[in-house]
């Protein structure tokens, strides 16, 4: 049972040498270059280096354990910090900031005015303020004079914690305090921590109001039919939700309320390693625009021309830019309730079908599981599939137990009569080494048929192990491709690999201690 106690918002007072408030993009460019934080590249994008931390520091994130929220937090998934430890570290940060120049950004998280969060972001770096301006939603100028923050982010990459003294695991820290309504970030210049910390806050607050927070992309068709896409990295979430025939609502974080689906953000934060103009023309174009922020992208020091194929600094090269940089993007307070829910997986075992229809209970099971599989290189060069489970397709950002989010999904799915589809963008015809990648042409044909309702009208067969329904036909897709077992030359090997994957699902699901038999019975039969 969720418990919440309404408390008034706190306005955090920060004392520093100077605070620059809500500077424009060009002004922040000037500050970032003058401070030697970043350089302007060919085309006009601003490129910064984040040093040691080129991705999120998941092990350095803590939630402060205090009476107002502790009964709601899923502590098996979230590290706790006591209030006294937070207060001591916060006092040290305040002392550190006393002689620093800071940048203040006032913004909204959430386009729906009934469910948005007023956020004030203080940053030590100018380009981090520009990043926050892209990621969140800019209030109208008339709203700024009386802007009252409901949560405050204090981002100080230059301050490094002492683990043996400050109660952290390392020099970096990301601390969420729901009682004081403060997020404290230090020791890391990776800008994604700002974005994901606010996502974590929304993932805590919104379920208390009966609103479903989602780590997903979303788009809407010409008939006002909204679709949402869940999927971990590498499953094709960005690619498949980017459709010239549909309008992009957002690429990463959304809410689902009684008003419909709404975007948390005002921009995109795209991975750009090996990006090409052919595969992702709009994201590629954004990397060469004034206003875009690039993180750890390599470029020629003389010509400032980008080399998006160079991963020498990190494979996690990023571009942050406003949503309007994408031609088919659409902004609005909220959009219609989804007609279709798509869960994407890259199955390197090669046993899941290219598409399957899930019942509401199966949708909950697969949502809680959050499965994909990757191919890992061992030291001897042997490659084997490795199952990866990230509950609710975003485990690092989930404050409540997974069943809280799954029950919200089930209720909203039933109320809107949405169909749920599991799409495998991974292998077919065999396991890694013999199987082939699903054809993107076939995947798009299956997705389009699901979204336009054509697929719901064909005959389906029930998978004997996983229980979901597999279509017998689909325009533009060979019938033999639809049933994965039929694509394997060695049927006995398929059965063995299918049983292996089913066992991994079952073993992973045990740790959630789900008591609902409807959900547990929706899993694969071993």
**Which pLDDT value is given to residue 180?**
96
Whether 109 shows a pLDDT value over 70: the answer reads yes
Report the C-alpha gap between 53 and 42 in whole angstroms. Answer: 25
Report the C-alpha gap between 37 and 418 in whole angstroms. Answer: 47
Six token digits for residue 367: 């949502």
Among residues 166, 167, 201, 179, the alpha carbon closest in space to that of 66 is found at 179
Q: What is the DSSP string of 235-297?
A: SSHHHHH--TTSEEEESSEEEEETTEEEES-SEEEEE-TT--TTT-HHHHHHTTSTT-EEES-
In this prediction, residue 165 has a pLDDT band, given cuts at 50, 70 and 90, of: very high
Among residues 438, 450, 433, the alpha carbon closest in space to that of 487 is found at 438
Mapping DSSP onto H, E and C, the string for 77-123 reads CCCEEEHHHHHHHHHHHHHHHCCCEEEEEEEEECCCCCCCEEEEEEE
Whether 55 shows a pLDDT value over 90: the answer reads yes
Whether 406 shows a pLDDT value over 50: the answer reads yes
Averaged pLDDT for residues 485-505:
95
Report the C-alpha gap between 467 and 480 in whole angstroms. Answer: 19
Question: What domains, with CATH codes, occur in the chain?
Answer: 18-37+57-209 (3.40.449.10), 267-325 (2.170.8.10), 337-520 (3.90.228.20)
**Which pLDDT value is given to residue 375?**
65
Report the C-alpha gap between 103 and 32 in whole angstroms. Answer: 11
3-state secondary structure of 512: coil
In this prediction, residue 376 has a pLDDT band, given cuts at 50, 70 and 90, of: low
Report the C-alpha gap between 59 and 396 in whole angstroms. Answer: 10
The residues, any chain, with a CB within 8 Å of residue 95's CB and separated by 6 or more, are none
Whether 5 shows a pLDDT value over 50: the answer reads no
In this prediction, residue 6 has a pLDDT band, given cuts at 50, 70 and 90, of: very low
Q: What proportion of the chain, given as a percentage, has pLDDT over 70?
A: 96
Six token digits for residue 225: 């039919």
Report the C-alpha gap between 461 and 355 in whole angstroms. Answer: 12
Task: Check: CB of residue 63 under 8 Å from CB of residue 56.
Answer: no
pLDDT averaged over every residue in the chain: 93
In this prediction, residue 239 has a pLDDT band, given cuts at 50, 70 and 90, of: confident
Task: Check: CB of residue 207 under 8 Å from CB of residue 36.
Answer: no
Question: pLDDT tens, 316-361?
Answer: 999 999 999 999 999 999 999 999 999 999 999 999 999 999 999 9
In this prediction, residue 383 has a pLDDT band, given cuts at 50, 70 and 90, of: low
Whether 387 shows a pLDDT value over 80: the answer reads yes
Q: Are strands 151-156 and 226-230 parallel, antiparallel or unpaired?
A: unpaired
User: Which one is predicted more confidently, 282 or 63?
Assistant: 63
Backbone angles phi, psi at 110, to 5 degrees: 115, 125
Task: Check: CB of residue 256 under 8 Å from CB of residue 212.
Answer: yes
Averaged pLDDT for residues 97-119:
96
Six token digits for residue 365: 């099971």
Task: Check: CB of residue 253 under 8 Å from CB of residue 268.
Answer: no
H-run or E-run covering 220? strand 212-220
Whether 395 shows a pLDDT value over 90: the answer reads yes
pTM for the predicted model, two decimal places: 0.92
**Which pLDDT value is given to residue 68?**
94
Within its chain, how far is the Cα of 1 from the centroid? 26
Averaged pLDDT for residues 450-462:
94
Give 392's Cβ-side CA count (13 Å radius).
26
Range name among 37-46, 71-80, 476-485 with the lowest pLDDT average? 476-485
Backbone angles phi, psi at 309, to 5 degrees: -90, -5
**Which pLDDT value is given to residue 433?**
85
**Which pLDDT value is given to residue 447?**
96
The residues, any chain, with a CB within 8 Å of residue 392's CB and separated by 6 or more, are 215, 367, 368, 370, 398, 402, 405, 406
Whether 377 shows a pLDDT value over 60: the answer reads no
Averaged pLDDT for residues 278-301:
95
User: Which one is predicted more confidently, 244 or 197?
Assistant: 197
Report the C-alpha gap between 473 and 460 in whole angstroms. Answer: 8
Residues known to be catalytic: 56, 196, 215, 233, 237-238, 252, 318
């Amino acid at each position: 049972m969720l418990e919440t106690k309404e408390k008034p918002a706190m306005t955090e007072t920060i004392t520093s040498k100077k605070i620059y408030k809500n500077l424009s993009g060009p002004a922040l460019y000037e500050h970032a270059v003058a401070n030697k934080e970043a350089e302007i590249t060919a085309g006009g994008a601003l490129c910064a280096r984040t040093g040691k931390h080129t991705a999120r520091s998941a092990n350095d994130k803590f939630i402060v354990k205090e009476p107002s929220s502790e009964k709601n937090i899923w502590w098996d998934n979230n590290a706790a910090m006591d209030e006294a430890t937070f207060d001591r570290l916060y006092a040290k940060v305040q002392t550190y900031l006393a002689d620093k120049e800071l940048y203040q950004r006032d913004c909204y998280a959430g386009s729906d005015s009934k469910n948005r969060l007023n956020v004030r972001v203080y940053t030590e770096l100018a380009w981090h303020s520009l990043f926050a301006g892209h990621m969140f939603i800019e209030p109208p100028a008339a709203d700024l004079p009386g802007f009252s923050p409901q949560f405050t982010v204090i981002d100080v990459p230059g301050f490094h914690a002492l683990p043996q003294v400050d109660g952290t695991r390392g020099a970096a820290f990301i601390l969420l305090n729901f009682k004081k309504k403060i997020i404290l970030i230090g020791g890391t210049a990776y800008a994604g921590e700002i974005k994901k910390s606010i996502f974590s806050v929304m993932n805590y607050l919104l379920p208390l109001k009966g609103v479903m927070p989602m780590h997903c992309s979303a788009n809407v068709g010409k008939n006002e039919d909204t679709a949402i896409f869940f999927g971990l990295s590498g499953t094709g979430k960005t690619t498949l939700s980017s459709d010239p025939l549909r309008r992009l609502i957002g690429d990463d974080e959304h809410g689902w309320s009684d008003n419909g689906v709404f975007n948390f953000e005002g921009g995109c934060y795209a991975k750009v390693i090996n990006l090409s103009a052919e595969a992702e023309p709009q994201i590629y174009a954004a990397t060469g625009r004034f206003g875009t922020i690039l993180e750890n992208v390599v470029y020629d020091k003389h010509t400032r021309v980008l080399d998006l194929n160079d991963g020498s600094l990190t494979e996690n090269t990023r571009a942050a830019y406003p949503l309007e940089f994408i031609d088919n993007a659409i902004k609005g307070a909220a959009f219609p309730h989804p007609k279709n829910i798509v869960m994407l997986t890259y199955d390197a075992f090669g046993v899941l079908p290219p598409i399957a229809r899930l019942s509401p209970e199966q949708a909950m099971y697969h949502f809680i599981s959050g499965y994909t599989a990757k191919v890992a290189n061992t030291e001897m060069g042997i490659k084997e599939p490795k199952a990866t489970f990230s509950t609710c397709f975003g485990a690092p950002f989930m404050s409540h137990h997974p069943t809280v989010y799954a029950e919200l999904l089930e209720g909203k799915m039933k109320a809107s009569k949405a169909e749920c589809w599991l799409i495998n963008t991974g292998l077919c015809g065999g396991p890694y080494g013999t199987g082939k990648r699903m054809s993107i042409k076939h995947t798009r044909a299956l997705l389009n048929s699901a979204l336009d309702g054509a697929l719901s009208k064909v005959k389906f067969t029930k998978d004997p192990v996983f229980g979901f329904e597999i279509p017998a036909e689909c325009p533009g897709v060979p019938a033999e491709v639809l049933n994965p077992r039929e694509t394997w030359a060695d049927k006995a090997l398929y059965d063995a690999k299918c049983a292996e994957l089913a066992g991994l699902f079952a073993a992973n699901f045990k740790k959630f201690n789900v008591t609902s038999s409807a959900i547990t019975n929706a899993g694969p039969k071993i």
